[in-house]
Structure formats: C-alpha cells, structure tokens
Amino acid sequence: MEQYPNHKINYSVAFIKMALLFLLSALSFGLLAALQYIIPGFGRDTFSFEKLRPLHVSSAVFWIILGAMGSVISFFRQHKRRKLKNQFWIKVQFYIFTLSFGGALVSYCFGIFSGREYWEFHPLLAIPIAIGWIVFIVNFLSNLGTLKNQPVYIWMWFTGILFFLFTYVESNLWLIPAINDNLVKDMTIQWKSYGSMVGSWNLLIYGSSIFLMDAISGSKKYSYSNLVFALYFLSLFNLMFNWGHHIYTLPTSLYIKDIGYLVSMTELFLFGRIIYLWRSSVTTAQKYFHIRPYRFLLAADVWVFLTLGLAVCMSIPALNIYMHGTHVIVAHTMGATIGINSFLLIAFACYILGKKKNGNFFKSKWIDIGFWVINISLVFFWISLIVAGFIKSHWMFHQPDVPFGVMMMSLKPWFISFYISGCGLFIGFCMIIFPLLFNHLLRDENNSFFKRKENHNLKEMVLD
C-alpha cells in the first residue's frame, strides 16, 4: 500500500476506522436494548427501548455502509496501484457521512425520529447523505477509466454504488403526500427500496470479497471466472426483484413473492459456493500468511449456509406461520448482518488495518481469541432468538388460555441466554476492534516518531 506523509490522514483507511467505531456503538446500544428483555422497563426514563432500538439498528447499518465504502475505496486504490485522484473529495465524502451518521445518532438521543423503520432519523438528514453518495459516485467514476475487460468486482462496485443512490431516493418517496396517504403504496415502496438497498450494499461487499480472495490467492482467476459473473448477474437481478419476499403481508401477486424468494436464496447459495470452492485453491502458505482475513471469510461462508438453512425453513408455509413477526425474524436479520456482512467487513478490516509497514501482518492473540469468542457466542445468540420466537408463536396459536405474563416468564431463560451471548459478542468484537485500531495508530505514531527523529538528525547535520 502507498505510504502517506505522517501529517496526512489516509481517508480510505479512516472510513474503516470510523466504521469500527459505529460497530462499537451498535454493540453497546444492542446490549442496553437487550437488557430490557430481561428487566422490562430498565432505564426507561433516560433510554427507552424505542430510543435504544433505532440507536442500535442505525449504528449497525452505518457500520455496514461505512465499512463497505471504505473497503471499496481501499481496494480500488490497490487495484489501480496508485493513489486515487480527487483526494480532497474523498475527504469531503468522509466528513459528510461521519457528520450525518453521527448527527442521526445524536438526534435520536433527543427523541427526534421520522417514524420509519431502520432509517429512523429526520428526513432533513437524507439530504447530506444523498449528496455524500453523489460525491462517492463522482469519486469512483472519475477514477474508473474504462469498463472494458474489468474484473467482476469493478462491475459489482460500479452497479452497487449507482443502485444505492437510486434506492435511497426511492426510500424517501414517502415524503410525497400522494404516496404517504396510500398505505399499501407506501409500504410496498418502503420494503421494495429497503430490499434493493441491502442488495446494493451486498454488491459492494461481494465485490470486495472477490477482490480479497484474489489478493490472498495471488491470482485473478476468480474475478474473471464465469461462476463469479453468474453471481454478479444474479445479484443484480436480486437487487431489482428480491423485495418480493419483504412484502408477504401486502396484497400483491404471489408469483412476485416466489420469484424474489427463490432468487435471493440462489444468490446466497452461489456466494457461499464461490468461497467454498476458492478455499480449496488457496495454498497452505497463502492461508497462513493471511490467516485472519482468511478465517473470517470462511466463518462468513458457514453463516451463509446457516442463514440459507433458516431461510429454507421460513419458506415452508407450516413453519412460516410460527416465524412471522417473531424473534425468529430478528435472528434471521441479525444472523445475516453479523455472520455474513460483519464477518466479511472484519475480514477486509484485518487485511487493510492489520498490516505492518513491511507488509507482514502483525501478531495479536486478542484477535485470534476474539474470532472464536464471537463465533461461539453468535451460535448461542442465534439459537436463543429462534427458540424464543417459536415459544411465543406456539403460545399465540395453541395456548390462548395461558396469560401473556406467564408466557413471557417462560421466555426468560432464552432472553438471559440471548443477553449473555450478546455480552460474548460485545467482548469478542472488542478483542478485534481495539487491536486493529491501536495497531494502526501505533504504526502511524511510530512512523511519525521516526520521521521526527530523522528530521531532527537532518537539522543537526545541517547545523553542524
């Protein structure tokens, strides 16, 4: 990677560092929100669940978006083998996103919400976010050159970046009274845009995964292969049509829902298979040199198949009625955003932040232990939510005489297990986040220390 003068900030890396801070925020607010499952009403006067949930969910979304953006910019720079043009505008992009995302979290603390799900901040903040994304598009396109003979990850980034803006604008169409006044129209557009937005950031993350796989194996075999281009076209199709499975409860045609569901499952399957096949092409030496990014890629692969398994169960009508609107859905969403998105982003962060100046990876027992802590915790976390969801549905359908309070008491052991495994996730992620941040900080500090010494010696020599 290109060296930066010690007084200058490398903004492609700054995106990843900032993303890690949002991950820390997601974990902290997640734990506080989960505490309210065990002690209902805990701290309600200062931080109610209605505030903690958006603080947690938005922090998680910001972590994914900033992490994906930072990975694209860092890997794009490595692909180009030169510093990107428009450094000033990359800096502008960084500050626009950091300030708007930070502003959204602060506004939640003051009780300012839009009332929408997931993007719950005031619609005024959508303006800087859309402008920031346009700056991202300009920064990407001005460095792109031609699309001819480009590897698949360039196509994925290119498409993902353009579609994100489109779907983001779409998700704000509710501000138009004619849409807001029509519930079905409003909900359909909302879920369609959210589904496509996830599809767009998945393209950024999949593209970065393919880049990383090539970088580890030292060949461009995968990024030009037919299988990966098939994944690209499927993801593109999915991005446009996967929303079908987000609108089950709305009165739309059945075939739209079926196509959406089938395509999103095929996409996950293909992505999982690509990592699986790539694994066998990596030599032992390459694997050991890149051990941390490699491990996280593999862990994400396991979670791709676990998420697929749960999704297959959800597609069986007899099981679906027990899952809809319960903690099983939360397990599905968090399983995917932690096990797939976050693990892949951590793999990129380990690759981008985890290297010394000489190109070797630094050693950290903390990160290695953290890897196992989050994986084991996530299994318990996921199972606890699924079981809690099923118990609640069983009560709804088969135990109408049992009072709500009694049912909630029977959920308590599962909520406690959810909370304890959530603490495990918090600790495990901290064991990764802090060494990554500090290693980079110390590396830059050492660099400036040596530079200062060098300059000092130089001055002394001149004086002599």
2-to-6, 81, 151 alpha-carbon distances in Å: 12, 8, 22
Q: Which is nearer to ligand HEM, 33 or 156 (CB)?
A: 33
Using CB under 6 A, pick the residue from 13, 33, 311, 328 that binds ligand HEM.
33
User: CB 388 → ligand HEM: shortest distance, Å?
Assistant: 10
Smallest separation (angstroms) from ligand HEM to the CB of 218? 30
Q: Which parts of 314-343 interact with ligand HEM (CB under 6 A)?
A: 329-330, 333-334, 337-338, 342
Tokens at 290, concatenated: 């890149």
Number of residues that bind ligand HEM (CB under 6 A): 23
Residue among 14, 18, 19, 26 that touches ligand HEM (CB under 6 A): 26
Residue pair 330/384 in contact by the 8 Å Cβ criterion: no
Q: Per CB under 6 A, which of residues 176..235 are in contact with ligand HEM?
A: none
DSSP 8-class letter at 221: T
Q: Compute the distance between CA of residue 362 and CA of residue 1 in angstroms, rounded to an integer.
A: 15
| Gap between the Cα atoms of 401 and 446, Å rounded | 68
Residue 54 engages ligand HEM in binding (rule: CB under 6 A): no
Residue 27 sits in the site that holds ligand HEM (CB under 6 A): yes
Q: Position of tokens 């360039």? A: 154
Q: Are 151 and 214 in contact (CB under 8 A)?
A: yes
Identify which of residues 61 and 274 has a Cβ nearer to ligand HEM in the complex: 61
- Is 310 a binding residue for ligand HEM by CB under 6 A? The answer is no
User: Considering only residues 13, 16, 24, 57, which one is a binding residue for ligand HEM as defined by CB under 6 A?
Assistant: 57
Q: Which of 56, 79, 192, 292 binds ligand HEM (CB under 6 A)?
A: 56
Indicate the residue among 84 and 432 with the shorter CB distance to ligand HEM. Answer: 432
34, 161, 239, 350: which one binds ligand HEM (CB under 6 A): 34
Q: Which of residues 360-419 bind ligand HEM (CB under 6 A)?
A: 418-419
Where residue 144 falls (left for φ over 0; alpha for ψ -120 to 50; beta otherwise) is alpha
Site stretch for ligand HEM (CB under 6 A), options 22-30, 71-79, 218-226, 354-362: 22-30
245 binds ligand HEM (CB under 6 A): no
Longest Cα–Cα distance in the chain: 93
State yes or no: residue 427 binds ligand HEM (CB under 6 A): no
Residue nearest to ligand HEM (CB): 422
Residue in 422, 430, 432, 439 binding ligand HEM, rule: CB under 6 A: 422
Residues 1, 20: Cα–Cα separation, whole Å? 21
251 to 94, 192, 243, 259: CA distances (angstroms): 41, 14, 14, 16
**DSSP class of 219:** S
* Residue 7 C-beta: closest distance to ligand HEM, Å: 33
Q: Where are the alpha helices (DSSP H) in 1-125?
A: 11-38, 49-80, 87-109
Which is closer to ligand HEM, CB of 158 or CB of 322?
322
425 binds ligand HEM (CB under 6 A): yes
Q: Which long-range contacts (CB under 8 A, 24 or more apart) does 86-92 make?
A: 86/138, 86/139, 86/142, 86/143, 87/11, 89/135, 89/138, 89/139, 90/11, 90/12, 90/139, 91/9, 91/11, 92/135
Please give the single-letter amino acid code of residue 446.
N
Smallest distance, Å, CB 95 to ligand HEM? 24
Please report whether residue 60 would count as binding ligand HEM according to CB under 6 A: yes
CB of 417 to ligand HEM, least distance (A): 10
Query: How far apart are alpha carbons 304 and 284 in whole angstroms?
Result: 24
User: Which one, 76 or 119, has the nearer CB to ligand HEM?
Assistant: 119
Give dist(CA 265, CA 257) in Å, integer.
12
Structure tokens at 45: 């006067």
Which residue in 6, 21, 31, 257 binds ligand HEM (CB under 6 A)?
31
Question: Which C-beta is closer to ligand HEM: that of 6 or that of 28?
Answer: 28
Within 8 A by CB and 6+ apart from 209, the residues are 271, 275, 297, 300, 344, 347
Q: How far is the CB of 177 from ligand HEM (least distance, A)?
A: 27
Contacts with ligand HEM, residue ranges (CB under 6 A)? 23, 26-27, 30-31, 33-34, 53, 56-57, 60, 329-330, 333-334, 337-338, 342, 418-419, 422, 425-426
